[in-house]
Amino acid sequence: MSSVFHRQAGWQPPTAVAGEGCYIVDADGRRYLDASGGAAVSCLGHSDTAVIEAIRQQAGQLAFAHTGFFTTEPAERLADLLTAAAPGDLSKVYFVSGGSEGVEAALKLARQYAVERGEPQRQHFIARWQSYHGNTLGGLSVGGNRPRRELYAPILLDSHHVAPCYAYRHRRDDESEEAYGRRVADELAERIEALGADRVIAFVAETVIGATAGAVPPAPGYFRRIREICDHYGVLLILDEVMCGMGRTGTLFACEQDGVVPDIVVIAKGLGAGYQPIGALLCRQHVFDAIADGSGAFQHGHTYMGHPTACAAALAVQHEIRERDLLANVQAMGAALDQVLHETFGNHAHVGDIRGRGLFRAIELVRDRAGKTPFDPALKLHARVKQRAMAHGLICYPSGGTADGVAGDHVLLAPPFIVDREQIDELTGKLNLALSEALAEVTP
């Protein structure tokens, strides 16, 4: 029995021993096509020599220096690269070690911003149901995944939630996508008014919903209306791009495609591509200025923030994406994946929706296409799909609770940016086989 405390007690996963491009190899020599980048992390695959060399060089020169005493060249260069590419005046970068830390830092920064501006009465965060913002208590508090929240509910922050922008499930037949987006966005204004127009700190949302609902893009105009509402009430807009950002949807920042600039955006996963643990938040100049011109210090910090080796790895990752023009491949292979998914599953009796942007795609599984009826959660269809896919050498990211937090299943796909057309076909073929076998276990 392993001494490792695996999250699923009693389960011994295969031992990964090597990475080769888009593939992971286990101790028995089995090869797995990593069609989800783990959890949308490994955007460069698993053996990029330039990134590995950058890590080696930085570790040999200076592995760690605490930010309470020093800055480092990798951190400065990475921050400059990110702010130069960011939309609007997202001009300051605060480094952390992952997405959950990034969300936690964003919540604290938003609260301190309100206090520094002389508005200490602002205490509420509003987020959306069917969202995921990390596993820290702050992240879970604003997160809208009911099963993840349930155990810890008594110790979570008192936060508030509105409906997600999830057209497949919630758009009325007589509504255009734009009208639906406007209607669901206006729920935010109603909630702000109910809580008190001067008592809300921020609205928190994933630009493209990730793990809980599966690559759900916003309706056209939704975030522009959200931006208007936030500006009207003096509420900060925090976008969580931990999963969907850093090129995953075809642009470096996912919000670029929606024509909005958040006050704070959180990134991680694709920032370091899994080669080192790293995340960050970027904030607009006015947010930074409120701290700089007020108390002068952000009352928050972690030991490993701005870690030189992690920053060197992320810097190398971002250079690789640019030098190899990988965003163009994300767009091209994303379109190819979308096409093949529709060709394979577009008329499938148990695939209700195919959605996403770039190399961030998902299929939603239903018992009944016409009624969009989910499978019984007790069947754990998503877990069966994952098991069968692994047996066929495919890593994908199935999840449950898609429809309402309890019922519903989807399969999320987020292959590395280096994926080619042959691998797209391999991915889809193996997924089709795994889905057929899983469905055979739960349908007559």
Q: What is the DSSP string of 337-387?
A: HHHHHHHHHTT-TTEEEEEEETTEEEEEE-SBTTTTBPPPGGG-HHHHHHH
pLDDT at 328: 98
Is the pLDDT at 101 greater than 90? The verdict is: yes
Residue 283 corresponds to which tokens in the numbers above?
């904030």
- The share of the chain scoring above pLDDT 90, in percent, equals 96
Residue 394 confidence class, pLDDT cut points 50, 70, 90: very high
Using an 8 Å Cβ cutoff, are 81 and 323 in contact?
no
Is the pLDDT at 411 greater than 90? The verdict is: yes
d(CA 307, CA 3): 28
CA angle 395, 168, 271 (to 5 degrees): 45
Is the pLDDT at 14 greater than 90? The verdict is: yes
pLDDT at 220: 98
Counting every residue written for the chain, the total comes to 444
224 contacts: CB under 8 Å, gap ≥ 6: 258, 259, 260
Query: Side chain identity at 116, as an amino acid letter?
Result: E
Percent of residues in the chain assigned helix, strand, coil, to nearest 5: 40, 20, 40
What would the pLDDT profile of 227-265 be if each residue is shown by its tens digit?
999 999 999 999 999 999 999 999 999 999 999 999 999
Using an 8 Å Cβ cutoff, are 202 and 392 in contact?
no
What would the pLDDT profile of 192-223 be if each residue is shown by its tens digit?
999 999 999 999 999 999 999 999 999 999 99
Is the pLDDT at 10 greater than 80? The verdict is: no
Place of tokens 């965060």: 125
| Mean pLDDT to the nearest integer, 155-166 | 96
Query: Side chain identity at 58, as an amino acid letter?
Result: Q
d(CA 241, CA 357): 13
What domains does the chain contain, in order, with CATH numbers? 16-48+325-442 (3.90.1150.10), 52-323 (3.40.640.10)
d(CA 275, CA 310): 8
Place of tokens 């069968």: 388
pLDDT at 5: 86
What would the pLDDT profile of 329-340 be if each residue is shown by its tens digit?
999 999 999 999
Residue 151 confidence class, pLDDT cut points 50, 70, 90: very high
Q: Of 91, 110, 94, 99, give the one whose Cα is nearest residue 140.
A: 99
HSE toward the beta carbon, residue 353, CA cutoff 13 A: 25
Using an 8 Å Cβ cutoff, are 397 and 40 in contact?
yes
What would the pLDDT profile of 32-51 be if each residue is shown by its tens digit?
999 999 999 999 999 999 99
Is the pLDDT at 7 greater than 90? The verdict is: no
| Mean pLDDT to the nearest integer, 99-111 | 98
What global pTM score does this model have? 0.97
Beta bridge partners of 409: 365, 400
